[in-house]
């Protein structure tokens, strides 16, 4: 059933979110914070999670081979070879109960960002009326597209604090029946950005039971799944049964294959939801150029470049282990490529960010910019900085040495 929020309820939903600065891009806020200062040393930018490792070697050749396809409008759902490659990769990587059907259970995305945003809008229409104000649950801190999508969907954003105390994953036991009964969808991210925490299969099983019982969707952001230290992170699809009901997972080549500019990802999961989502995408989503989908086919067929990528990140975490030790509450995260450092003792996250930039030329982002205030006024990101280890090893080591010197 299609339900669209009335403008007044959308306005009400918007007003339920914290007003002011928090609506804005964390990076726009960071630019403003640092505008009055000059970097004290040659700038090292560790604020944006844009991978700087080399592109896979095959990109140019595949693009050249398919150049004529720039003369065609791409279909919203993606070319069959791409959907087949994505389905086969999911099966190989996660040993699912069965291979997702490329025709009904996979759609190409123009990177996972737009996919996550539009999924919230599609979810509100697909799930239909709830018992109470429709809500979307979000981890807090969170990737900004989740909140933007929630707002566009006319739903109330319910922020679930992810803190050291709960292992940096939303505490499912804290959710009361009234909230679950009005839930349209929950966003989960594993590995999580910014903390790098990873959900276990048991976590996904519990979440799936709640989703089935209360009839909401799990929107599982798994774009960091290939960047991990020891064990390969699990997928929500592994706990989604044989029909993947109520589960949609989001993947991307941006982090896995160092192709953030390619803008290719995919969604996989519940065929009924994907049908509704595709109808919206067919009129509203950015399509993915066909030659780029062919590059993605080659990328999903190759794991060598992914292993090399993981090796490079592991080397940088080895450096962080050595240089940071246990300072700032540092613990090597299970996944992702960010450090989430407690700098409360250095005047708070904004003050530490300014000091690092002004005295050390290192640009990071305050944790509070990646989060919203909870109803009790606390901000679960406050007191932390996020350091994205996207530069090469030498530059990263230099930045971490400066960090330890400046925040001493």
Ligand X SMILES: Cc1ncc(COP(=O)(O)O)c(C=O)c1O
Nearest distance from C-beta of residue 36 to ligand X, angstroms: 27
Cβ closest to ligand X, residue 116 vs residue 180: 116
Neighbours of 28 (CB within 10 A): 11
Cα gap 380→383, rounded to integer Å: 8
How many C-beta atoms surround the C-beta of residue 154 within 10 A? Answer: 25
* Cβ distance to ligand X smaller for residue 112 or 353: 112
Q: State the minimum distance, in angstroms, from the CB of residue 249 to ligand X.
A: 12
Phi and psi (nearest 5°) for 139?
-70, 155
Compute the least distance from the CB of residue 255 to ligand X, in Å. Answer: 7
Provide the minimum distance between the beta carbon of 133 and ligand X in the complex, in angstroms, as a whole number: 26
Q: What is the DSSP letter of 335?
A: B
What does the DSSP 8-state code read for residue 383? T
Print burial letters for 382-407: b (CB count within 10 Å at least 16), e (below 16): bbbbbbbbbbeeebbbbbbebbeebb
Q: Which residue lies nearer to ligand X by CB, 182 or 386?
A: 386
DSSP 8-state assignment for residue 346? G
Q: Residue 86: name the closest of 104, 66, 107 by CA.
A: 107
In angstroms, give the least distance from the CB of 220 to ligand X.
11
- In sequence order, what are the beta bridge partners of 185? 136, 217
Nearer to ligand X by Cβ, of 112 and 360: the residue is: 112
44 φ, ψ (degrees, to nearest 5)? -120, 120
Smallest gap from residue 326 Cβ to ligand X (A): 26
Least Å distance, CB 26 to ligand X, is: 11
Question: How far apart are the two ends of the chain, measured CA to CA in Å?
Answer: 58
Q: How far is the CB of 138 from ligand X (least distance, A)?
A: 12
β-pairing, 106-109 vs 265-269, is antiparallel
Q: Which is nearer to ligand X, 155 or 388 (CB)?
A: 388
Closest distance of CB 388 from ligand X, Å: 9
Taking the complex as a whole, the smallest distance from the CB of residue 299 to ligand X amounts, in Å, to 13
Q: Is the peptide bond before 194 cis (omega within 30 degrees of 0)?
A: yes
Which residue lies nearer to ligand X by CB, 296 or 324? Answer: 296
What's the closest the beta carbon of residue 389 comes to ligand X, in angstroms? 13
Q: CA 268 to CA 100: how far, in whole Å?
A: 7
Q: Which long-range contacts (CB under 8 A, 24 or more apart) does 310-319 make?
A: 310/226, 310/227, 310/228, 312/53, 312/392, 312/393, 313/227, 313/337, 313/389, 314/229, 315/393, 316/389, 316/393, 316/396, 317/229, 317/389, 319/393, 319/396, 319/397, 319/400
Binding site for ligand X (CB under 6 A): 49, 111-113, 143, 189, 193, 221, 223, 252, 254, 260, 265
Closest listed residue to residue 87, CA positions, set 218, 232, 249: 249
Give the ranges where 95-200 is alpha helix by DSSP (H): 112-127, 144-152, 177-181
């Amino acid at each position: 059933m299609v339900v669209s929020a009335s403008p007044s309820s959308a306005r009400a939903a918007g007003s339920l979110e914290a007003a002011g600065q928090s609506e804005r891009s964390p990076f726009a806020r960071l630019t403003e914070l640092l505008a009055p200062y000059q970097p004290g040393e040659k700038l090292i930018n560790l604020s944006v999670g844009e991978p700087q490792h080399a592109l896979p070697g095959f990109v140019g050749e595949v693009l050249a081979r398919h150049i004529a396809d720039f003369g065609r409008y791409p279909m919203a759902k993606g070319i069959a070879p791409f959907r087949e490659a994505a389905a086969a990769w999911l099966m190989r990587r996660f040993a699912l109960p069965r291979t997702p059907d490329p025709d009904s259970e996979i759609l190409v995305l123009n990177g996972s960002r737009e996919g996550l945003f539009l999924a919230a809008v599609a979810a509100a229409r697909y799930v239909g009326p709830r018992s109470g104000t429709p809500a979307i649950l979000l981890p807090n801190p969170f990737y900004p597209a989740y909140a933007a999508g929630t707002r566009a969907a006319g739903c109330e954003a319910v922020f679930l604090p992810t803190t050291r105390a709960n292992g940096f994953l939303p505490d499912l036991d804290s959710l009361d029946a009234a909230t679950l009964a009005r839930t349209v969808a929950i966003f989960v991210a594993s590995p999580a950005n910014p903390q790098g925490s990873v959900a276990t299969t048991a976590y996904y099983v519990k979440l799936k039971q709640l989703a089935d019982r209360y009839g909401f969707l799990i929107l599982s952001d798994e774009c960091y799944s290939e960047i991990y230290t020891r064990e390969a992170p699990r997928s929500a699809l592994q706990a989604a049964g044989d029909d993947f009901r109520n589960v949609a997972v989001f993947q991307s080549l941006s982090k896995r294959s160092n192709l953030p500019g390619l803008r290719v990802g995919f969604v996989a999961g519940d065929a009924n939801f994907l049908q509704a989502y595709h109808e919206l995408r067919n009129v509203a989503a950015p399509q993915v150029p066909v030659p780029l989908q062919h590059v993605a086919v080659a990328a999903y067929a190759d794991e060598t470049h992914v292993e090399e990528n993981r090796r490079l990140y592991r080397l940088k975490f080895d450096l962080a282990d050595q240089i940071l030790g246990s300072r700032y509450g540092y613990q090597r995260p299970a996944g992702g490529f960010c450090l989430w450092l407690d700098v409360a003792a250095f005047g708070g996250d904004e003050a530490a960010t300014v000091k690092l930039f002004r005295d050390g030329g290192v640009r990071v982002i305050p944790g509070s910019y990646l989060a919203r205030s909870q109803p009790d006024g606390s901000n679960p990101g406050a007191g932390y900085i996020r350091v994205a280890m996207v530069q090469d090893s030498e530059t990263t080591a230099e930045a971490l040495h400066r960090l330890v010197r400046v925040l001493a």
